[in-house]
Amino acid sequence: MKIQIPQTYKPSSEDLPNIIAPSGLEVGANYLKLGDYFVKTIFIFTYPRFVSSGWFSPIVNLSEMMDVSIFVHPMETAGALRNLQKKVAQVQSEIDEKSSKGMVRDPLLETAYQDIESLRDSLLQAREKLFKVGVYITLYGQTLEALAKLENQVSSMLESKLVYVKPSLFKQMEGFDSVLPLCTDKLLTHTPLNSGPASSLFPFVSPDLTSEKGIMYGVNMHNNSLVIFDRFSLENANQVIFAKSGAGKSYTTKLIVLRSLMVGTNIIVIDPENEYQNLANAIGGSYFKISLTSQTHINPFDIPIIPEGEEPADVFKSHILNLSGLIKLMLGSITLEEDALLDKALTDTYASRDITAENFGQIKEMQAPLLEDLQVILQNTKGGLQLSQRLEKFTHGTYAGFTNAPTNVDFKNRLIVFSIRDLEEELRPIAMYIVLNFVWNLVRAELRQRILIVDEAWIMMKFKDSASFLFGLVKRARKYYLGITTITQDVEDFLKSEYGKPIVTNSSTQILMKQSPASIETVTTAFSLTDGEKGFLLEANVGEGLFFAGAKHVAIKIIPSYTEDQIITTNPEQVLEIKGLQR
């Protein structure tokens, strides 16, 4: 008895058509049934006398499932001239016949005569060429009703431009073959066009944001191209990200952080919700927790390094102004008299350590004062006792460990994250102000490509002094090779601030993700959105949105790799699964 051992199956090139081909195809007179979809091909059969450049872009940019195929067949110039000569003779004969009979002139005939003669001149002078152009559009719908609705939409859009289409009746199979990426024109339904009208179809004016430099933000939902962009190539590198909670704004930002680090950009993050801790740990970044009991301290009175090319006295005065804004944020509202008193007290505080505008930068080792030194100065200044008492909780009271200690933060890492989640709500704006001021002094001291991310920026926008400080950073960041990313979910609160809209207008790139119905009108007004863009933001899925870069904007889908997703995800199910695998 012989036992036959079956041979191992070896795939061949003959298997490829069976893999990619559908299981079946139902051919009808007016549509095809392809798998779960109904398919219909239509073609353009007439054009207006004039077409403008980009007239076809609304169809190309339509966010619907469709395929477009354009065939351009060159025509022999000599043969075209012979046909045009016959047409001229025919039109001229009709004009002469009507004139001999005393009939009123026909403007259509006269216009046709002028157009033909003009085209003949252009062809003879080789300024134009003639082509046979076929434009086929294949539409897809899960139901016949959806297919008919899409067909009506496309037809209406084209008819508004005096361009008319017809379905390829009894030739749906040929139409479908013509739009497959095989470069075969089986429908053979053409319209003669000269170079000008034919060129209006090319290039597709679908928004394109693919460049040789920068990072990949996502996939262009208009045409499936990659959105690769360098934010530092614009007039400023600032960016705003607006989205409702859960739309994916922090996920998107973390993906941007990862990819920016790959191209050599340093990143500093102010994290209100501990969302960047896993990211910092995964790539060896520095993670500092700012809280009342934390061992991490930043002294707001630290002496800033004098940037190259700037006057020491100007740097000193600017530092005093920033400190004044911080103290106002701590104290709340103060009177004009108290404001003047505070300005003098801050100058006297540095003078107590022999630091003045005149000698600033000349002494190598200058010991920075603390907040308690300012309190002592106020206490011994006429009219300053009340201000001194109001600072007590920040120097020796509950908040003392947070604001009244020397700096012990090392800024040598390429990714630095400051977490302020464990701070009380009323202290968060103060913490963000202190960190931003500290980062700003660092940025000015050394020119290097950096991105500063301020998550939940609406916290700072609630107070005039902190909002003004953030706006000042956004305005001046370009000079120091810094891009500031401002992120918020409370669009209403952000834009209500007098500095909200200026921050948006001073940010050359913007990312808008899913918005709530309550805030969509505010966003629409602020960004001058169209009705289509407005509807898209209301219905966008997680990770989808609009990407604005200067005058260009596209619909974008954020797509991470598997490794990136494992590092940046905050989905509770995924986080628990990852922790389980690590154990």
How confident is the model over 192-214, as pLDDT tens digits?
Answer: 887 777 777 765 555 666 777 88
Name the pLDDT band for 450 (thresholds 50, 70, 90).
Answer: very high
Mean pLDDT, the chain, whole residue set: 83
How confident is the model over 165-180, as pLDDT tens digits?
Answer: 999 988 899 989 898 8
How confident is the model over 460-483, as pLDDT tens digits?
Answer: 888 887 888 889 889 988 888 999
Q: Which two tokens stand for residue 528?
A: 């001058």
How confident is the model over 11-51, as pLDDT tens digits?
Answer: 676 777 777 777 778 888 888 888 888 999 999 988 887 77
Q: SS3 letters for 230-284?
A: CHHHCCCCCEEEECCCCCCHHHHHHHHHHHHHHCCCEEEEEECCCCCHHHHHHHC
Name the pLDDT band for 453 (thresholds 50, 70, 90).
Answer: very high
Which of 17-21, 294-298, 424-428, 558-562 shows the highest mean pLDDT?
558-562
Note the pLDDT of residue 576. 63
Note the pLDDT of residue 239. 93
Note the pLDDT of residue 136. 93
List, in sequence order, the alpha helices (H) in 182-232: 195-199
Q: Which two tokens stand for residue 59?
A: 């169809």
Report pTM.
0.65
Cα gap 77→195, rounded to integer Å: 12
Continuous segment of H or E residues that includes residue 97? helix 77-100
Note the pLDDT of residue 511. 93
Strands 415-419 and 286-289 come out as parallel
